[in-house]
């Protein structure tokens, strides 16, 4: 990898060819583009045979097909030899092939390119990878990117950067980004990706977890750590295996992160965790949290067999001679450790010096992506509620969010609905069942009347005691604020 003019010249060539996410998607069309997402190249090869620079780059880097030397030189003018010297390409007398993946990528506002090792397992080929394999854009990295809050900050940390995709996102809204990893190839590729995308605010450091940053603090930490829960068999893929037992790597990060955050700073973690036979998952994770508000969302649960199959396939072991032995060893280890299942999800921490607010929930349903704004809104709601005692809450003027819809269910012709459901159209897309009073309360929250006035009117209408109504529904109002059904008129 290099720090000279090669990254800038490569970027210019990619732009000139139209080698962007939208450009490739348009070239391939929906069927071939979806097939490529499943690691199948045949439909894409049929649509990229014309020899244009965009077709050549798509075949070369994404479909991993050799291209004629003259077409490569047309797509990458004056760069083929230099890219071969740098290990990005290899060439023969008549053909050029990719040694690294150069992949167009995009966020809401910017075209980016991400260099990584070649995607393994195309078209059903063996997907064995080396111990220092540098993973490219994956569903996990995309999930973390969509989870990460994008407020403007001074300092950010990409902990375990891999190919640096999170660092690229962070660089767009951070004054300075530090990216750390123990994989030397990952560090070199991250430096290349920073230069390729024109970012000079990314600093790459060698070291394990928080060691390279010592006593430094950040406004935002994003991490997709090597969280795979497996027995210590001596084999380790750096991008997914930490070498620590169980979910210790995630536990260590959660425990240490608040000490590396500025006041109000966020740490957002994509993680796996153990679900033990004798304990609730949220009880275990709650013990890890100190000095931070925490919102932990369990998105998926896999039983031990499904989990072992997933990661053996990821490592290219499925169908190998010792697949059964590895499977049995891993499954037996789960049984010995009394691991009932493995949870996957999001851990959002925000440093606080006040009494922490902890929220743990399971949410396996579809959500709006990116989900980052919903995480930030939760933090804002926690802050607002911390300053609202019951009297202040009664005096507050709240607003129902625009995306909230009311659904009613009941027998045809019935005077009153049997069930009322309040449903969000955005964010987590929550749905909660409400009684008549709660639904009327939410419907009346338009910022004009205070909560106390609405509850008083409802008490008079329903013939209930006003004090009892306040006691019953003020906790409900707090839940509605935290869950994003209501907001203050100031937000």
CATH (domain of 483):
3.90.930
Rounded to an integer, the average pLDDT of 435-441 is 93
- Tell me whether residue 1 is in a domain: no
252 and 203 in a common domain? yes
272 and 159 in a common domain? yes
- Tell me whether residue 120 is in a domain: no
Lowest model confidence (mean pLDDT) among 79-93, 192-206, 236-250, 373-387: 236-250
pLDDT value at 237 more than 50: no
Enter the pTM of the model: 0.92
As a whole number of angstroms, the distance between CA 237 and CA 312 comes to: 12
Q: What confidence tens digit (pLDDT) does each residue in 443-466 have?
A: 999 999 999 999 999 999 888 888
Lowest model confidence (mean pLDDT) among 172-181, 235-244, 326-335, 442-451: 235-244
Q: How confident is the model at residue 241 (pLDDT cuts 50, 70, 90)?
A: low
pLDDT value of position 236? 46
Start-to-end C-alpha separation, the chain: 47
* Boundary residue ending a domain (318, 340, 372): 372
DSSP string, 11-47: HHHHHHHT-SHHHHHHHHHHHHHHHHHTT--HHHHHT
> How many domains is the chain built from?
3
As a whole number of angstroms, the distance between CA 164 and CA 154 comes to: 19
- Tell me whether residue 270 is in a domain: yes
Q: What confidence tens digit (pLDDT) does each residue in 103-134 have?
A: 999 987 889 999 999 988 888 886 666 778 89
pLDDT value at 234 more than 50: yes
In the beta sheet, which residues pair with residue 181?
A: 206
Q: How confident is the model at residue 1 (pLDDT cuts 50, 70, 90)?
A: very low
342 and 461 in a common domain? no
Lowest model confidence (mean pLDDT) among 67-71, 363-367, 410-414: 410-414
- Tell me whether residue 86 is in a domain: yes
- Angle between helix 451-462 and helix 466-482 axes, rounded to 10 deg: 130
483 and 453 in a common domain? yes
Rounded to an integer, the average pLDDT of 76-83 is 97
- Tell me whether residue 428 is in a domain: yes
- Tell me whether residue 187 is in a domain: yes
Rounded to an integer, the average pLDDT of 190-201 is 97
What is the gyration radius of the CA atoms in the chain, in angstroms?
A: 26
Q: How confident is the model at residue 239 (pLDDT cuts 50, 70, 90)?
A: very low
Nearest partner of 268 among 277, 278, 276, 258, judged by Cα: 258
Contact (Cβ atoms closer than 8 angstroms) between residue 134 and residue 120: no
Contact (Cβ atoms closer than 8 angstroms) between residue 92 and residue 8: no
pLDDT value at 368 more than 90: yes
> What CATH number does residue 250 fall under?
3.40.50.150
* Boundary residue ending a domain (337, 372, 407): 372
Q: How confident is the model at residue 240 (pLDDT cuts 50, 70, 90)?
A: very low
* Domain limits for position 406: 387-488
Work out whether the CA dihedral 306, 309, 312, 316 comes out positive or negative. Answer: negative
220 and 87 in a common domain? no
- Tell me whether residue 413 is in a domain: yes
406 and 257 in a common domain? no
Q: How confident is the model at residue 233 (pLDDT cuts 50, 70, 90)?
A: low
CB-based burial, 147-176: b 16+ in 10 Å, e otherwise: bbbbeebebbbbbbbbbbbbbbbbbbebeb
In the beta sheet, which residues pair with residue 361?
A: 297
% of the chain at pLDDT higher than 90: 77
446 and 312 in a common domain? no
Nearest partner of 212 among 280, 161, 269, 139, judged by Cα: 161
Q: What confidence tens digit (pLDDT) does each residue in 274-325 have?
A: 999 989 999 999 999 999 999 999 999 999 999 988 878 876 666 676 788 8
Higher model confidence: residue 228 or residue 432? 432
38 and 157 in a common domain? no
Collect all residues with Cβ–Cβ distance below 8 Å to 23 and sequence separation of at least 6.
17, 54, 104
351 and 230 in a common domain? yes
* Boundary residue ending a domain (314, 346, 372): 372
395 and 365 in a common domain? no
Backbone angles phi, psi at 264, to 5 degrees: 80, 0
Lowest model confidence (mean pLDDT) among 48-57, 72-81, 229-238: 229-238
Cα dihedral: 384, 389, 391, 396 (round 10): 10
pLDDT value at 378 more than 50: yes
341 and 223 in a common domain? yes
Q: Is 249 exposed, middle or buried (0-12, 13-18, 19+ CB in 10 A)?
A: buried
Task: Provide the mean pLDDT of the chain.
Answer: 92
- Tell me whether residue 457 is in a domain: yes
Rounded to an integer, the average pLDDT of 58-87 is 97
Rounded to an integer, the average pLDDT of 224-231 is 84
183 and 59 in a common domain? no
pLDDT value of position 310? 86
């Amino acid at each position: 990898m290099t720090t000279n003019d090669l990254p800038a010249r490569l970027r210019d060539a990619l732009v000139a060819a139209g080698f962007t996410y939208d450009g490739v998607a348009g070239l391939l069309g929906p069927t071939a583009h979806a097939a490529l997402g499943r690691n199948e190249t045949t439909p894409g090869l049929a649509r990229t045979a014309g020899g244009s620079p965009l077709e050549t780059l798509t075949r070369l880097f994404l479909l991993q097909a050799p291209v004629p030397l003259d077409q490569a030189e047309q797509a990458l003018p004056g760069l083929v030899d230099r890219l071969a010297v740098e290990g990005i390409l290899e060439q023969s007398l008549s053909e050029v092939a990719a040694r690294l993946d150069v992949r167009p990528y995009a966020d809401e506002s910017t075209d980016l390119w991400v260099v990584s090792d070649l995607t393994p397992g195309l078209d059903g080929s063996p997907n064995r990878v080396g111990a220092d394999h540098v993973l490219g854009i994956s569903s996990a990295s995309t999930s973390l990117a969509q989870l990460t809050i994008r407020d403007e900050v001074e300092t950010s940390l990409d902990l375990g950067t891999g190919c640096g995709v999170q660092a690229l996102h962070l660089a767009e809204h951070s004054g300075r980004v530090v990216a750390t990893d123990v994989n030397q190839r990952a560090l070199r590729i991250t430096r290349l990706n920073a230069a390729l995308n024109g970012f000079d605010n990314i600093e790459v450091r060698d070291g394990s977890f928080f060691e390279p940053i010592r006593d430094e603090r950040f406004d935002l930490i994003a991490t997709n750590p090597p969280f795979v829960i497996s027995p210590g068999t001596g084999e380790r893929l750096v991008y997914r295996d930490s070498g620590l037992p169980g979910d210790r790597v995630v536990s260590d990060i959660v425990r240490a992160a608040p000490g590396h955050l500025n006041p109000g700073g966020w740490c957002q973690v994509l993680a796996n965790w153990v679900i033990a036979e004798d304990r609730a998952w949220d009880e275990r994770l709650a013990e890890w949290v100190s000095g931070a508000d925490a919102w932990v969302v369990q998105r998926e649960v896999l039983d031990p067999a499904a989990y072992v199959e997933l990661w053996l396939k990821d490592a290219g072991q499925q169908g190998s001679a010792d697949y059964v032995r590895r499977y049995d060893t891993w499954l037996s280890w789960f049984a010995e450790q009394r691991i009932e299942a493995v949870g996957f999800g999001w851990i959002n921490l925000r440093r606080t010096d006040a009494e922490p607010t902890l929220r743990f929930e399971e949410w396996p349903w579809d959500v709006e992506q990116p989900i980052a704004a919903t995480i930030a809104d939760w933090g804002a709601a926690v802050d607002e509620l911390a300053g609202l005692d019951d009297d202040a809450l009664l005096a507050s003027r709240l607003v129902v969010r625009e995306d909230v819809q009311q659904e009613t269910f009941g027998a045809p012709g019935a005077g009153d609905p049997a069930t009322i459901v309040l449903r969000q159209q955005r964010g987590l897309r929550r749905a909660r069942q409400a009684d008549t009073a709660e639904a009327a309360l939410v419907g009346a929250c338009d910022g004009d009347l205070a909560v106390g006035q609405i509850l008083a009117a409802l008490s008079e209408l329903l013939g209930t005691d006003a004090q009892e109504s306040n006691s019953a529904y003020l906790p409900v109002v707090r839940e509605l604020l935290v869950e994003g059904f209501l907001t203050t008129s100031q937000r």
